[in-house]
Structure 1
Amino acid sequence: MFNVPQALKRLVIGKAMRSEELGETLLPKRLALPIFASDPLSSVAYATQEILLVLTVGGTAFLYLTPWVAAGVVLLMAVVVMSYRQVVHAYPSGGGSYEVVSKNLGDNAGLVVAASLLVDYVMTVAVSVASGVDNIISAMPSLADYRVELAVAFVVLLAAMNLRGVRESGKAFAAPTYLFIGGILLMVVTGFVKVLSGHTPVASSAGMGIIPVDGKDTLAGLGLLMLGLRAFASGCTALTGVEAISNGVPAFRAPKSKNAASTMSVMGITAVVMFVGITALSLITKVHYVDDACQLTGVPGDCKTFAQPTVIAQLAASIFGGDQSILFYLIQAVTALVLILAANTAFNGFPLLASILAQHRYLPRQMHTRGDRLAFSNGIIALAVVAGGLLVLYKADVTSLIHLYILGVFTSFTLSQIGMVKHWNRTLATEADSAVRAAAQRSRVINGFGAVVTALVLVIVLITKFTQGAWLAVVAAVVLWVMMRGIRRHYDTVAEELAVDDPHAESVRPSRVHGIVLVSKLHKPTLRALGYAQAFRPDSLEAVTVSVEKDATRELESQWDEYDLQVPLKVLDSPYREITKPVVGYVRTIRRTSPRDAIAVFIPEYVVGHWWEHLLHNQSALWLKSRLLFTPGVMVISVPWQLSSAGRADHPSRRAPGSVRRGEPAVRSEHEKIPAPENA
């Protein structure tokens, strides 16, 4: 019988892969770059914009700070990339910052990093997709009313692509990433050629004045310093996703560490070149970008409805000739596409980290399970759901979402660099080889400098962004940390409780086994359950029914005597028409009478084949099972009877008694007391 859900699943994610095919999913460097580095590469599209957004609160007076802020971001990028190259070589197993911190600073510190990164991965998806939609709207303003719908649709599309597997998503996303790099570099080179030839491009907003926010144009001293630091903190969004390569080392082809380190270097150099080019051209072309369009003077029409083109859109228009140029639309298209695909970095990093945490028992074990295409499907779906919810909640607004961003990533940067310093200290304490010691000392200097710089940035980000919404990210990370500690505590408690202390004492047989077959009517499922129960040869066996309707109970007793089934039938009264309570009470009474006995409860059930058939039956059996399972010394045994609708090609008569196929429809109990009789 044709299975529609399975057909749709195969259409979306493709044919299932065998576990031994995992090696075929390993990535060459050309695919690893767009998969793991699309976030830091694409963030240059809005990092400059975020710097300008902060500095223009004072009008144009403080735009002279832009080169200094950008230089700070570039220096920080170089330090972080060099530091993470050390992580890749020292810890190639793929734990990244989490593994470094856990092994060197302890489990609690490691969980701080893990919680921070998980929150930051969610924000990466939300911010990247929202920014991509912004660029689409810059080219097609008519889509502004569908901002949220577009953002959520892109998240669903990204999740579907990643469910197809890492390698497949890499192939799909490689071309847009490389087109974006090529397009931005072409724009930067063309812009500088025009400047050098005396035809300096002019941005569309260059002629618009900027009205300073009240009192902000006269900032000096500490106020000016805080403004510069806030702009620097906003510009540090260019560093988001840098750590993803260190988390994804196992996904690289051999030699894994070398290939991962090389990819990280290429990513760092490319991102710096693009960021510097965009920032320089923004100043040269006099791009003006503000938080509120009503800050601008000379805006065409109503400032409240005026949609500011993004910095990239203004540069592309001034350099390539506006909306009359194919290259303008190409830049907008690839920028929007790569910003949306930048979320793919999180769709690879989040499931990998969640899988490691699940393996260490800090997240549900389902997060460590690979799906049909050998991707960590549960992590992908969880990320898509949470990020989609944020986009709806914040109406896919980049400015609102950006304040929740980058706090987590600098927490992981700082702690991982401190952890690496401790790692090199331990190496130097035990290593005698002079060459190895010299390399370790160089690495310690790099990581030590990285720790100081990233800690300083973390403080700056915390101070400048906390009241603007970053406190929500802090709260989310704290809640996640507490939750992960609770999950680990639960798993540890379960493991301790299940551990075998005395194999002989704990495998002792019960004194007797008392069998109970639950009966509602006398039909084929009931007779099969009786036969199975007798095959188990319990020390005693009885059938039990609950009397809800007197006439039906008398008819059942009459049939029981007529068929001479050789199994006594016990009737439990139920004046309030309950089924579960009388059965559970009777079973517990037997347990109290004979605590060393075991009780086996057999429940005859049948299997329905269609979803709508489930609606025709109540759920009393599920509740009854759940109550019985909480009773010590009681075993619940389901005896299925497959109806013909459960599979025409696999009729019950052609199967071994009681067998159930993989993926078979849900089971419904025949122990369902309903007024009208049912036909088997």
Structure 2
Amino acid sequence: MRNLPGFVKRLVIGRALRSEELQETLLPKRLALPVFASDPLSSVAYATQEILLVLTLGGLAYLRFAPWIALAVVALLAVVVLSYRQVVHAYPSGGGSYEVVSVNLGPSAGLVVAASLLVDYVMTVAVSVASGVDNVISALPSLAAHRVPLALGFVAVLTATNLRGVRESGRAFAAPTYLFIASVLVMVATGLVQHALGHGPLAPTAGYGVVPAPGDAGLTGLALLMLVLRAFSSGCTALTGVEAVSNGVPAFRRPKARNAAATLAAMGVTAIVMFAGVTALALIARVRITDDPCRLTGLPGDCHDYPQRTVIAQLAAAVFGGEHSVGLYVVQTATALVLVLAANTAFNGFPLLASILAQHRFLPRQLHNRGDRLAFSNGIVALAVVAGLLLWGYRASVTSLIHLYILGVFTSFTLSQLGMVRHWNRELRAGGGPGAAAAVRRYRTARAVNAVGACVTGLVLLIVLVTKFTEGAWLAVLAAAVLWTTMRGIRRHYDTTSAELAVTDAGDQLVPPSRVLALVLVSRLHRPTLRALAYARAFRPDQLEALTVAVDRTEAADLARQWEEHGIEVPLKVIDSPYREVARPVVEYVRSMRRESPRDLVAVFIPEYVVGHWWENLLHNQSALWLKSRLLFTPGVMVTSVPWQLTSSSRAGRHPGRAPGSVRRGEPHRRA
């Protein structure tokens, strides 16, 4: 039982891997696709739905704009994929948009991208998991009351799987991702063939009408344009996660850049075909879905009790022959799985980006450390915690969370394309040598692609900002701004610390103090106290004394009497404490010693018990911890803990499963 946490850890994440085994965790293309592309592929499940939800605010008449909006989304996705293929080849180190922008537009702009992407990764987990839960509830409506626990449970499973390593998560998630791709493509192909043969599928909601939302009927001019732009910005959720491949290039097998570019191309083609097919099929099948079911007309019962099914669920029921068909359950199962697994893109992108930022000293250095399975465990856990809090706070509602989404990713898209334009300009200026003409043509073509990408994504960013800002996108902007400011502050702290710790004159720093004054803190006379005294003597200080705080004068008198009876030659100093404080009198006494002799060094020795069980710490007070924390802020003072191992700690230390350094320390002394 003593090693139960270690057993559970090994059961969940597996055996620890040596650093030399990192090469074995690299991904082939077939596993990289589900790891890094599950987010853009899974967005097929809700991108079309988001377009329809916005357009039906004005009634069924505005669905005529859906094909054009879908075409614009497809064109934008193609441009972004082409642009990021160039990023992968030009910057294969794995920094992606952050590295491109930092190198070409400056560190501050790079931090804007980093903050935006980190926020977007958090939103990817929240939205993907919430959408996956929606599809689970579409298949099993009885689970609607357990929406939040289901969402948090999915996040926990994703976290545990990713802690096992990138390759392990790729193996675990490959089958559901490929099942989703196959099931959607089969559904789209079957539905389009049925339509071509003259008996196209009809959605279960095809016969329902839609009442326009208040104030959205008969829109014209600018109001109509805003509705269409809003629908377009919602459909652009299909582009989320595209940049993850460029961030994850180091996780690919060699040749890394070529394999990453191939994976990006495969992801782009698959996502475009699936999104275009689902949108076309939804219009053919006359799917009806609204933000409020009470705006649907012709419902068989009370609108408040009507559970709206997702677009994918309605299409599967129409194509495969009813709401209890095998095809429906296959599609719904695959969709629910891949939507949850779409969060895996963020679980790989967020830790990698956080690791690079930590290496550049913009985030805590712990985020650069690899865990037992060579994954960036701290980043994985941090992402899970923040996303879990969002899901809990927003009750795992896709409608509420979606407005916080995609703003960050389009900020990244726009700035990275601008950075690439500057990159190609620099390459063109440096052009020359053999084959210069071919290189110049290649650079100019690449620059044109990135310039178009920058203009288009910049326009989309503006549209998203205008149409979604008041609906909740302001919160994502605020979060990114706070994160940007925090990262700047962290970098300033690390820079200041490095400058302060830098060695300027080693000889001056090695000058010994004039004297060493040793102080042993005592509560009562026992074996730990004597060990601390003996240890302090071994340092041969210029002055040695014991110090106790007289919280109870009777006990202090007894201690002084025992001290004299045992003939201890170290003088005992007793400090009176009428208000029963311990830390303040000790700190004030130490500071007085420093004031009297500023060039002297004060060494404080604190006896401590070492216990073998966590609960044994509860039986001893923690005054030593508080004392040490106070003394560490006193210049010229060294604090040393002198441990006394109890029998329980010895047994724990001999336990074969206990990790080194896992013993617990408690402070039993009532005064010091």
Q: Distance in 2 between matches of 1:215 and 1:522?
A: 83
Residue by residue over 1:259-283, the C-alpha shift from the partner in whole angstroms, topping out at 9 and shown as x without a partner, is: 0000000000000000011000001
Q: Distance in 1 between matches of 2:287 and 2:170?
A: 34
The structural deviation recorded for 1:306 is: 1.1
Identity %: 69
Pairing 1:228–2:228 present: yes
What SS does the aligned partner of 1:342 have?
helix
1:441 to 439, 444, 454: 444
The structural deviation recorded for 1:670 is: 4.0
Distance 1:335 1:649, change over 3 A: closer
Structure 1: tracts of 5 or more residues without a match: 653-659, 675-680
Contact 2:16–2:373 (CA<8 Å) still a contact in 1?
Answer: yes
Specify the alignment match of 2:516 in structure 1.
Answer: 513
Residue by residue over 1:470-520, the C-alpha shift from the partner in whole angstroms, topping out at 9 and shown as x without a partner, is: 111111111111111111111111111111121111221111111111111
Residue by residue over 1:444-493, the C-alpha shift from the partner in whole angstroms, topping out at 9 and shown as x without a partner, is: 11101100000010001111111111111111111111111111111111
What TM-score do the two structures reach when normalised by structure 1?
0.96
Contact 2:620–2:668 (CA<8 Å) still a contact in 1?
Answer: no
Q: Distance in 2 between matches of 1:534 and 1:300?
A: 90
Contact 1:620–1:672 (CA<8 Å) still a contact in 2?
Answer: yes
Contact 1:61–1:217 (CA<8 Å) still a contact in 2?
Answer: no
1:453 to 450, 453, 456: 456
Residue by residue over 1:50-107, the C-alpha shift from the partner in whole angstroms, topping out at 9 and shown as x without a partner, is: 0000111111111110110000000000000000001000111111101110111111
Pairing 1:471–2:474 present: yes
Specify the alignment match of 1:667 in structure 2.
Answer: 665
What SS does the aligned partner of 1:577 have?
coil
Specify the alignment match of 1:678 in structure 2.
Answer: none
The structural deviation recorded for 1:186 is: 0.6
Contact 1:180–1:335 (CA<8 Å) still a contact in 2?
Answer: yes
Q: Distance in 2 between matches of 1:419 and 1:671?
A: 62
Specify the alignment match of 2:569 in structure 1.
Answer: 566
The structural deviation recorded for 1:325 is: 1.5
Specify the alignment match of 1:285 in structure 2.
Answer: 285
Residue by residue over 1:319-339, the C-alpha shift from the partner in whole angstroms, topping out at 9 and shown as x without a partner, is: 001233111100000000000
Specify the alignment match of 1:109 in structure 2.
Answer: 109
The structural deviation recorded for 1:649 is: 5.9
Specify the alignment match of 1:307 in structure 2.
Answer: 307
Specify the alignment match of 1:588 in structure 2.
Answer: 591
Q: Distance in 2 between matches of 1:15 and 1:672?
A: 43
What SS does the aligned partner of 2:603 have?
strand
User: Mean alpha-carbon deviation: is it higher for 544-553 or for 86-95?
Assistant: 544-553
Specify the alignment match of 2:335 in structure 1.
Answer: 335
Residue by residue over 1:331-363, the C-alpha shift from the partner in whole angstroms, topping out at 9 and shown as x without a partner, is: 000000000000000011111111111111111
Contact 2:548–2:671 (CA<8 Å) still a contact in 1?
Answer: no
Q: Distance in 1 between matches of 2:670 and 2:261?
A: 63
The structural deviation recorded for 1:7 is: 1.3
Q: Distance in 2 between matches of 1:33 and 1:411?
A: 24
Structural mapping, 1:155-304, within 5 Å: 155-304=155-304
Q: Distance in 1 between matches of 2:410 and 2:471?
A: 17
Specify the alignment match of 1:54 in structure 2.
Answer: 54
What TM-score do the two structures reach when normalised by structure 2?
0.98
Q: Distance in 2 between matches of 1:521 and 1:661?
A: 33
Pairing 1:646–2:645 present: no
Q: Distance in 2 between matches of 1:25 and 1:353?
A: 18
Structure 2: tracts of 5 or more residues without a match: none
Specify the alignment match of 2:131 in structure 1.
Answer: 131
Specify the alignment match of 1:677 in structure 2.
Answer: none
Q: Distance in 2 between matches of 1:562 and 1:322?
A: 94
Q: Distance in 1 between matches of 2:7 and 2:262?
A: 41
Q: Distance in 2 between matches of 1:367 and 1:661?
A: 22
Equivalent AA in structure 2 for residue 99 of structure 1: E
Q: Distance in 2 between matches of 1:203 and 1:581?
A: 75
Pairing 1:489–2:487 present: no
Specify the alignment match of 2:620 in structure 1.
Answer: 617
Contact 1:519–1:544 (CA<8 Å) still a contact in 2?
Answer: yes
Contact 2:120–2:406 (CA<8 Å) still a contact in 1?
Answer: yes
Contact 1:98–1:416 (CA<8 Å) still a contact in 2?
Answer: yes
Contact 2:653–2:663 (CA<8 Å) still a contact in 1?
Answer: no
User: Mean alpha-carbon deviation: is it higher for 512-521 or for 426-435?
Assistant: 426-435
What SS does the aligned partner of 1:340 have?
helix
Distance 1:351 1:96, change over 3 A: same
Distance 1:647 1:3, change over 3 A: farther
Specify the alignment match of 2:553 in structure 1.
Answer: 550
The structural deviation recorded for 1:664 is: 2.3
Equivalent AA in structure 2 for residue 377 of structure 1: S
What SS does the aligned partner of 2:524 have?
coil
Contact 2:612–2:652 (CA<8 Å) still a contact in 1?
Answer: no
Paired residues, number: 667
